[in-house]
């Protein structure tokens, strides 16, 4: 199984920030997950929420700010162990830091179809120009985003539907979208759904694994990967499992 640092290491470092990704790398993580939005100046920025209020000292909608304005915010989100403010980075700034990470999941956040039609070609172009396609799985909870991806970049090799996956119908949705992977909830899905996904030839990622109980479920289901907010908690469990 592969541990992906969720938004870097969301529970231990400022999420979706350069400082957070550097922290995750120092822990030795070889896989990461993070999110992209389209800023007002049509640049891709790495942030989870559609608004600034939860993770920064700003307020308002991400799409109403330029990437330069977003970079000037303090995105520490209450994690005070980091002495310097962490701005909202661009995707290119993040990739400059994590270029050597073997596996990344980049999540397209929900947006209107017109903006997604701007975002998706830019995202794919950025990944391809950096020759990082083998490293990057594109993911989304939004079926519209994945349908647009399949239409606008039909040759992109790996993308995944995120969701609860609390019924087999989710697997059918992923197949209809042309996904190569599904990302199931460890709290809401089941071994039966995971088995159905495997039978359909899909890889299985999962979210989110933060406790020994979550790790036991991920191990029992034999998922390929999971996202984790607290890698310092789960890494020792993985080491113990590997040793046995």
- Active-site positions read 6, 48
Distance CA(49)–CA(243), nearest Å, equals 39
* C-alpha to C-alpha distances, 57 to 11, 53, 77, nearest whole angstrom: 18, 7, 8
- Of 40, 35, 52, give the one whose Cα is nearest residue 140: 35
DSSP per residue, the chain: -EEEEETTTTTTS-TTSHHHHHHHHHTT--EEEEEEEE-TTS-EE--SSSBSTTTSS--SBGGGS-HHHHHTS---TT-TT--S--PPPBHHHHHHHHTT-SEEEEEEPP--HHHHHHHHHHHHHHHHHTT-GGGEEEEES-HHHHHHHHHH-TT---EEEES---STHHHHHHHHHT-SEEEEETTT--HHHHHHHHHTT-EEEEE---SHHHHHHHHHHT-SEEEES-HHHHHHHHHHHHH-
């Amino acid at each position: 199984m592969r541990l992906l640092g969720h938004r870097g290491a969301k529970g231990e470092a400022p999420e979706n920030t350069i400082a957070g990704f550097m922290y995750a790398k120092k822990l030795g993580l070889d896989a990461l997950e993070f999110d992209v939005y389209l800023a007002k100046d049509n640049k891709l920025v790495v942030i989870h929420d559609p608004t600034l209020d939860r993770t920064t000292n700003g307020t308002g909608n991400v799409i109403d700010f330029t990437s330069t304005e977003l970079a000037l915010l303090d995105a520490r989100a209450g994690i005070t162990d980091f002495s310097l403010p962490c701005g909202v980075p661009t995707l290119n700034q993040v990739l400059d830091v994590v270029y050597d990470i073997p596996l990344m999941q980049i999540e397209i956040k929900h947006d209107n179809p017109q903006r997604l039609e701007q975002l998706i070609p830019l995202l794919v172009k950025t990944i391809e120009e950096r020759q990082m396609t083998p490293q990057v799985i594109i993911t989304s909870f939004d079926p519209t985003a994945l349908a647009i991806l399949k239409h606008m970049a039909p040759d992109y090799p790996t993308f995944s539907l995120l969701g609860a996956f609390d019924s087999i119908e989710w697997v059918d949705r992923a197949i209809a979208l042309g996904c190569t992977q599904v990302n199931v909830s460890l709290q809401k899905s089941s071994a039966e759904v995971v088995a159905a996904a495997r039978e359909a030839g899909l890889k299985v990622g999962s979210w989110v694994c933060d406790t020994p109980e979550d790790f036991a479920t991920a191990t029992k289901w034999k998922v390929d990967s999971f996202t984790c907010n607290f890698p310092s908690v789960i890494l020792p469990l993985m080491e113990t499992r590997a040793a046995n």
